Structure 1
């Protein structure tokens, strides 16, 4: 039985307790149904497409992969595997879908084949088209389905008739309708085509990755296999060339024009019935971006708005977009706060840190936000709430209110239809997430209509994080002590467990986010998770404090948090270890090399060690171009002479872990670090993971990786 499993095995088998939980919710505009994905159990990787009928108060599956594939094994194309890696998708079956405007027709790919679902009727069918199919999307009117296949953008009637290519690649390096690596990995843009509101044309990205350098990823465990070739745009090198085409179903073709040399990044595309197509394009240095309206007759663009920032500009989910009366919705950094803008009107203040736009109604905007610095420190760090802001009121600033506010700290997200909202939230008071469907009323009231069941497994342990602020910078921290620890039990060895960098908030008001840290605590550690400067959710200035100085600022804040918390918790500062993955691995490497006076051992997982080897859009945002600031890259890297010059003479145990199939942080990072350490005479251990990417979804790998880390940490700190 699952309850008899150890936490590492259960954590791995349930894919971090995400299996069986409802996700990817869509509410029909007439509030008749909610569509979502969910597997049948908390250990079943296969996702099904479901509908919750709000009129009948019942749910039913509309797409079961086992039935649709006749029990056959799922086969994934290289393009689909890449899409899942970029989105960190480790499950199987139906992992994504798209719907028409009425939310009556859904389209999805399964094993490279195209399927559609009649959502009110609860049935699915396959459309016989050339494959392998990637990212199928119905037209808003439900009459056609567009999809990418073989580098082409194709369209077929919803009845399965009339399949044809609207654009075919002119060469092996060209694709239509797919997001390039940088867009999917760093810009949160996974799409490559967008339907017109009336369903008679599409905007389609044309990507040519010929300018991008080729890298080869080999599998040393299988020397007979050819290395996989990838186009990887490392910092300072060429990106893919991205153009945008307006393709009519009548065969017409018009290229959309903008200054692609000055603004090469196509970051966002929005096309609704409330205005012309809207683009957000960024300069390569990400300090300037344009909001452009597209003339669909000529393909020419006109500037709607310009953003500029001396440090960098961030991208946000859900914007830009139009309101129904044609005003621009965006999120902006103003006066030290991240605010919601509709036209020229600021709808929020420094009391909120706006994070995403979730839906736009006739007179309001649904958005997620954290408490902002303008309201002072909240009682606890890590809350994310959903709010509504009105833009039809009077005055310079509209009002806003929480939506579905719960009486406990939590992390909320939502989807909306007409008047109905599907709210997903996870709090500190219980494991897992809940999904409630409700109709909001006045002054924060709500009529609850239904709750969508979760089949996620209950963890075999309970996380007990104490969320606090620490140090002169009021660094958000989570502190976890062993289950059953009592004040008289004495000081504990410390494990710092950070991500600690951009895009990765770890200190959140959600139980399951702290399960692994609690498990490490139960092995006899006081575990500290600290979100220092550079991490999201605080303020623009907090995030941008790491410009040109990732290493020093990130490491300084980990030390500050540890030192401050030592006066409040039973910490044995003579036995301090640190572990991390990706940016957290980079930070762990920095810690044991540059501050061995504080850190006595480190687990360095999939670290970025030579910052010139990471991608353009990410690394250039923080450090600029390598040829313009070589000293900045050298000082922030672990493997350069300048980077290693910060290493103290004291040698601390280090375990370097890396997946050999990683195409995001390639294993060259760890190999170069190991070589540099060996050349410097610094002993260390290396654990290569054959066939593992930047994710570690394999059950045995994920389980044993936790066990091996504990063994290394205890051995290194002399706890045995």
Structure 2
């Protein structure tokens, strides 16, 4: 015995090697300091709030939760637990914070209590306010702090004085300042209030979830505990009613008006000193949306831009926004490409697939994009790069890069996945690559020569304490088949060609919002662990997955079955160049990947011989409105489409073919996103059809599996099932 942890235990204990790594970076506008979260080690779940002085590289903690709570364990409110589940947050301590405009004050919640930290001195203090506190945020000038608590939106002075409610809850269903379930889960909008640039007013969401149908989630392993009531907007059923109010610190209250009957979804809110507040509102079918400017005097709105799409419109991080000279920044699908727009000017071409806006500067936009498409650049699939594009002339000479439109930030010597935060002339660039584990975070101070050309500036690094994995991932990223499907292929460590063909494990997510084939080492560690057990593992990102083109993503409208077709296409195409035993092919997946795995063995048993079906969406009528209706429309209007894309309806099971293949169904009983009813209905349908299968219920587990022992043993049970099912156990 060496004492070294097994990979499953290490993977679980380190929360997929994220603990100890810096994240959530904010850079001060004067470029003097950066703020970030990081735990003290690779197995420590408790995040501290850190500051790095960018003049000398000195790091110091601004908030230590253990000291602030006196060593006591955290106690989370139901609202905070729900927020963490929506954001898939599994760590502890300071999991989120907000700063003032100068990045001198940070505020955060611990155990439902409000804390503030002076980022210049590193001193933190508690402010005694009514709780439990959720999502505190300081005004831009740092004079006040707004927060949500028990359905109210409250404001307190930064010194802890004069706490008061600007809006009180109304009955049991109306609250202020929190994002409703569908916004947090599907729209990537976790906020429910926004400060004015002057700090004298706030835009505040009022959410009434009375129309939303109630579900009850119980833990059968704890029969003495009552079930939890959940307002869940399933496809085709009513959503929460969301309105927006302008609340002044002087007590004024003005409702913001738009056509909520036609555009019920409040998807984005942006309020900066560069222009009036911006709203992005969507129709329920997500085929039309408006970008609206708000008159803060009357609450009336005017249309700044309107979008329509015959399939659907996607939402993107960082937009809409204003430039300093008052032009609208947005991301648009035009001419088959996803491009960056400022005003009526298109800043990028089809050479980049724009992913999101990171920062809007005086004359440029910092954004992330996938370079080219995998079909055109087969040697570099899975890249995400940070670029800058110019929309103004700016001071000084015009650099050559500005003449061609954009340039990458940092080096691009090898494929990698990048992200960035900027303040003043400092960019904190994080990147993960295939060549080494983990994510590296560099601090770059931008410099240019007298001709405006970029030159090597000051460089530093924010240290990561993340653990090194006990195994090394060696994926080969390729594009396969007629559709040039991005794939990662992983073989066992030490595999030799004379060892012959290997049993195959398809390991996809394979659906919307879930890119798995990325140029990042740690993203492929679990697949490599399965490979080391004797499999050739294939991860394939077929149509519907992000990062390639609008048409690629939207091809699955009404036809989620295309995602299965692409798994088969990738498998067969790769068999010509890799040691694949097509007589022994298994598939595993979670969430959409679980749906895909179940569909694979039911509809294509000629190809797939076993499946691990994790937390599957088996009946799309049980999944939420904003996600499901984007792809399949309304159930009452398209019942046949829903039936054909289901695993449990007569139409869905009618595609099931002989022979019966082994299936292990796994589901967390506390899952409030993909509720366990999905798996129970699948099991019932399989039983009625005489199809043998295994069911593994996970008591107390949600859609995440953060519990260390559960996460570890779940991997071990899967590999055992797959080996038994494919005849690999001697």
Scaled by the length of structure 2, what TM-score is found? 0.97
Say whether the 8 Å CA contact 1:337–1:372 is kept in structure 2. Answer: no
Say whether the 8 Å CA contact 2:369–2:384 is kept in structure 1. Answer: yes
Residues 1:675 and 2:684 aligned together:
yes
Say whether the 8 Å CA contact 1:385–1:405 is kept in structure 2. Answer: no
Give the drift of 1:396: 12
Q: Report the Cα distance in structure 2 between the residues aligned to 1:535 and 1:554, rounded to whole angstroms.
A: 9
Residues 1:707 and 2:707 aligned together:
no
Give the drift of 1:378: 4.3
Q: Report the Cα distance in structure 1 between the residues aligned to 2:150 and 2:694, rounded to whole angstroms.
A: 43
Counterpart of 2:462 (choices 447, 452, 455) is: 452
Q: Report the Cα distance in structure 2 between the residues aligned to 1:630 and 1:376, rounded to whole angstroms.
A: 38
Query: Paired residue for 1:82?
Result: 82
Give the drift of 1:285: 0.3
Q: Report the Cα distance in structure 2 between the residues aligned to 1:325 and 1:2, rounded to whole angstroms.
A: 63
Gaps of 5+ in 2: none
Gaps of 5+ in 1: none
Counterpart of 1:572 (choices 566, 578, 581) is: 581
Query: Paired residue for 1:63?
Result: 63
Residues 1:6 and 2:12 aligned together:
no
Say whether the 8 Å CA contact 2:375–2:484 is kept in structure 1. Answer: no
Counterpart of 2:541 (choices 507, 531, 534) is: 531
Query: Paired residue for 2:501?
Result: 491
Say whether the 8 Å CA contact 2:378–2:479 is kept in structure 1. Answer: no
Give the drift of 1:171: 1.2
Query: Paired residue for 1:95?
Result: 95
Residues 1:658 and 2:705 aligned together:
no
Give the drift of 1:586: 0.2
Say whether the 8 Å CA contact 2:374–2:479 is kept in structure 1. Answer: no
Mapping 1:410-421, distance limit 5 Å: 410-421=416-427
Residues 1:514 and 2:501 aligned together:
no
Q: What SS does the corresponding residue of 1:124 show, helix, strand or coil?
A: strand
Residues 1:319 and 2:319 aligned together:
yes
Query: Paired residue for 1:555?
Result: 564
Give the drift of 1:397: 8.8
Superposition CA RMSD, Å: 1.4
Query: Paired residue for 2:261?
Result: 261
Query: Which is further off, 626-635 or 367-376?
Result: 367-376
Mapping 1:683-694, distance limit 5 Å: 683-694=692-703
Query: Which is further off, 161-170 or 55-64?
Result: 55-64
Give the drift of 1:372: 2.9
Scaled by the length of structure 1, what TM-score is found? 0.99
Give the drift of 1:490: 0.6
Mapping 1:393-404, distance limit 5 Å: 393=393, 399-404=405-410
Give the drift of 1:297: 0.4
Say whether the 8 Å CA contact 1:346–1:397 is kept in structure 2. Answer: no
Say whether the 8 Å CA contact 1:337–1:373 is kept in structure 2. Answer: no
Q: What SS does the corresponding residue of 2:459 show, helix, strand or coil?
A: strand
Change (3 A) 1:485 1:374: closer
Q: What SS does the corresponding residue of 1:4 show, helix, strand or coil?
A: coil
Q: Report the Cα distance in structure 2 between the residues aligned to 1:383 and 1:150, rounded to whole angstroms.
A: 43
Query: Which is further off, 621-630 or 396-405?
Result: 396-405
Say whether the 8 Å CA contact 1:476–1:507 is kept in structure 2. Answer: yes
Query: Paired residue for 1:234?
Result: 234
Give the drift of 1:463: 0.1
Q: Report the Cα distance in structure 2 between the residues aligned to 1:643 and 1:458, rounded to whole angstroms.
A: 44
Say whether the 8 Å CA contact 1:533–1:542 is kept in structure 2. Answer: yes
Q: Report the Cα distance in structure 2 between the residues aligned to 1:148 and 1:428, rounded to whole angstroms.
A: 42
Q: Report the Cα distance in structure 2 between the residues aligned to 1:417 and 1:335, rounded to whole angstroms.
A: 33
Residues 1:540 and 2:550 aligned together:
yes
Query: Paired residue for 1:646?
Result: 655
Say whether the 8 Å CA contact 1:348–1:398 is kept in structure 2. Answer: no
Change (3 A) 1:54 1:212: same
Change (3 A) 1:179 1:383: same
Residues 1:426 and 2:432 aligned together:
yes
Change (3 A) 1:263 1:686: same
Q: Report the Cα distance in structure 2 between the residues aligned to 1:156 and 1:666, rounded to whole angstroms.
A: 39
Mapping 1:237-316, distance limit 5 Å: 237-316=237-316
Q: What SS does the corresponding residue of 2:178 show, helix, strand or coil?
A: coil
Mapping 1:345-424, distance limit 5 Å: 345-373=345-373, 376-393=376-393, 399-424=405-430
Give the drift of 1:175: 1.0
Mapping 1:98-177, distance limit 5 Å: 98-177=98-177
Query: Which is further off, 376-385 or 182-191?
Result: 376-385
Give the drift of 1:158: 0.1
Q: Report the Cα distance in structure 1 between the residues aligned to 2:374 and 2:528, rounded to whole angstroms.
A: 32
Give the drift of 1:3: 6.9
Question: C-alpha deviations, 1:21-75, integer Å up to 9, x for none?
Answer: 0000000000010000000000000000000001232000010000000011100
Q: Report the Cα distance in structure 2 between the residues aligned to 1:356 and 1:207, rounded to whole angstroms.
A: 27
Give the drift of 1:224: 1.0
Q: Report the Cα distance in structure 2 between the residues aligned to 1:344 and 1:405, rounded to whole angstroms.
A: 31
Query: Which is further off, 521-530 or 2-11?
Result: 2-11
Q: What SS does the corresponding residue of 1:136 show, helix, strand or coil?
A: strand
Query: Which is further off, 238-247 or 440-449?
Result: 440-449
Give the drift of 1:373: 3.6
Give the drift of 1:376: 2.3
Count of aligned residue pairs for this structure pair: 719
Say whether the 8 Å CA contact 2:216–2:230 is kept in structure 1. Answer: yes
Q: Report the Cα distance in structure 2 between the residues aligned to 1:271 and 1:436, rounded to whole angstroms.
A: 29
Say whether the 8 Å CA contact 2:512–2:553 is kept in structure 1. Answer: yes
Query: Which is further off, 103-112 or 386-395?
Result: 386-395
Q: What SS does the corresponding residue of 2:488 show, helix, strand or coil?
A: strand
Give the drift of 1:446: 3.7
Say whether the 8 Å CA contact 2:374–2:484 is kept in structure 1. Answer: no
Question: C-alpha deviations, 1:97-129, integer Å up to 9, x for none?
Answer: 000000000000001000000001111000000
